[in-house]
């Protein structure tokens, strides 16, 4: 029987097929910051002054395209309340005054481009009721994960998800249903996200022959040409194409973050992307 070695095509294909899906919940904001490194964007809604205990209606949907320019809303993200009004509320979070985005029932968050990871605070501004929130993450129409939280009166929680393969394109937050037709408030703040991912990261070429038209030009089709193109570029030490990660352990700082060097970690990271498909 022919044995496979770490450098044989059979071994590489076996590793590719065994590669895990690289995704998971992020427990703390510090972990989110480590994953996103210096690429994180943070929306704290502080571009508009809102007095404590008061609220100001927002455009719905709410984004940099619909808000007043002076509000300083970041590009690339949209907030939408499909069943209720959307407004900015002067509240209290983490021991300080804070401007919080609020609605009732359901809040949808959509990104212009797939994002590697997303996290935010959810607050409970009441003093007498526990809120139950359901937070669903999506890549286009495909569900990625649903996280549930029980938030005590005057409390808050941090929710985040890491999706390094295809990225996160939208989030749907659903509030507590107290009775038919009555859902509790949703209050979010400090929304952090980054960084834009290609729609299909392992799609790196149209053909596998260097020098031919379409080489290193993605074509929205993932096939063996992409795999063998990566092998060739990895052998040539092409950092622009092949530098994909700092380490090979999912969930660790630097995972999925380029670091300016090529190692086997980059190679096996690409195998995982290729195995996950698009």
The whole-angstrom separation of Cα 42 and Cα 212 is 42
Residue 11 lies inside a defined structural domain of this protein: no
Same domain, 228 and 240: yes
On whether both 178 and 232 belong to a single domain, the answer is no
Inform me whether the pLDDT recorded for 14 exceeds 60: no
Kind and range of the H or E run holding 229: helix 224-235
| pLDDT tens digits for range 152-168 | 888 899 999 998 777 89
Residue 107 falls in which region: left (phi positive, over 0), alpha (psi -120 to 50) or beta: beta
- Looking at residue 140, what is its pLDDT? 83
Same domain, 169 and 207: no
The pLDDT of residue 37 is above 80: no
Last residue of a domain, one of 166, 196, 226: 196
- Domain span at residue 69 reads 24-196
Residue found by looking up tokens 């959509």 in the block:
110
| Mean pLDDT, range 15-32, rounded to an integer | 70
- Same domain for 182 and 207? no
> Which has more pLDDT, 260 or 252?
260
The residue with greater pLDDT, 59 or 113, is: 59
- The answer to whether 224 and 207 have CB atoms below 8 angstroms apart is no
Name the least confident of 15-24, 179-188, 219-228, 234-243: 15-24
Number of structural domains found in the chain: 2
> Poorest-confidence range of 47-51, 103-107, 214-218?
47-51
User: Domain end: 165, 196, 227, which one?
Assistant: 196
Query: Among residues 196, 226, 250, which one ends one of the domains?
Result: 196
Reported as a pLDDT band with limits 50, 70 and 90, residue 12 is very low
Are residues 208 and 137 both part of a single domain?
no
pLDDT tops 60 at residue 33? yes
Q: Is the pLDDT of residue 265 over 80?
A: yes
Considering the domain architecture, whether residues 171 and 204 belong to the same structural domain is answered as: no
Same domain, 209 and 187: no
Q: How confident is the model at residue 247 (pLDDT cuts 50, 70, 90)?
A: confident
* Shared-domain flag, residues 135 and 43: yes
Q: 207 and 83 share a domain?
A: no
The pLDDT value given to residue 255: 79
Query: What is residue 241's three-state secondary structure?
Result: helix
Tell me the CATH number at 152.
2.60.120
Categorize the per-residue pLDDT at 278 as very low, low, confident or very high, splitting at 50, 70 and 90: confident
Q: Whole-angstrom Cα distance, residue 59 to residue 72?
A: 14
* 151 and 258 housed in the same domain: no
Query: What is the pLDDT, as a whole number, of residue 2?
Result: 32
38 Cβ contact list (under 8 Å, min separation 6): none
Mean pLDDT of 244-271: 85
Decide if pLDDT at 273 tops 90: no
On whether the CB atoms of residues 139 and 166 are closer than 8 A, the answer is: yes
Position 13 in a domain: no
Residue 264 has pLDDT above 80, yes or no: yes
Query: Is the same domain home to 174 and 112?
Result: yes
């Amino acid at each position: 029987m022919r044995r496979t070695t770490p450098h044989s095509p059979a071994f590489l294909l076996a590793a590719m097929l065994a590669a895990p899906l690289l995704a998971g919940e992020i427990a703390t904001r510090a972990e989110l910051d480590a994953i996103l490194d210096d690429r994180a964007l943070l929306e704290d809604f502080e571009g508009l002054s809102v007095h404590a205990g008061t609220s100001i209606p927002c455009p719905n949907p709410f984004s940099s395209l619909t808000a007043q320019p002076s509000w300083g809303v970041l590009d690339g993200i949209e907030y939408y309340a499909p069943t209720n009004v959307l407004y900015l509320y002067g509240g209290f979070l983490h021991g300080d005054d804070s401007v919080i985005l609020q609605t009732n029932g359901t809040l949808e968050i959509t990104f212009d481009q797939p994002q590697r990871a997303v996290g935010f605070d959810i607050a409970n501004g009441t003093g007498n009721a526990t809120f139950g929130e359901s937070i669903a993450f999506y890549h286009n129409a495909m569900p990625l994960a649903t996280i549930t939280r029980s938030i005590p009166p005057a409390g808050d929680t941090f929710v985040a998800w890491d999706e390094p393969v295809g990225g996160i394109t939208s989030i749907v937050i659903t509030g507590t249903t107290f009775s038919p037709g009555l859902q509790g408030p949703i209050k979010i703040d400090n929304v952090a996200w980054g960084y834009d991912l290609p729609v299909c990261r392992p799609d790196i070429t149209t053909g596998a022959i260097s020098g031919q038209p379409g080489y290193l030009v993605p074509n929205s089709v993932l096939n063996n040409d992409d795999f063998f193109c990566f092998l060739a570029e990895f052998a040539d030490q092409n950092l622009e194409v092949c530098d994909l990660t700092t380490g090979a352990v999912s969930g660790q700082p630097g995972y999925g973050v380029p670091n300016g060097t090529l190692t086997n970690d980059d190679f096996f990271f690409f195998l995982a992307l290729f195995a996950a498909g698009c």
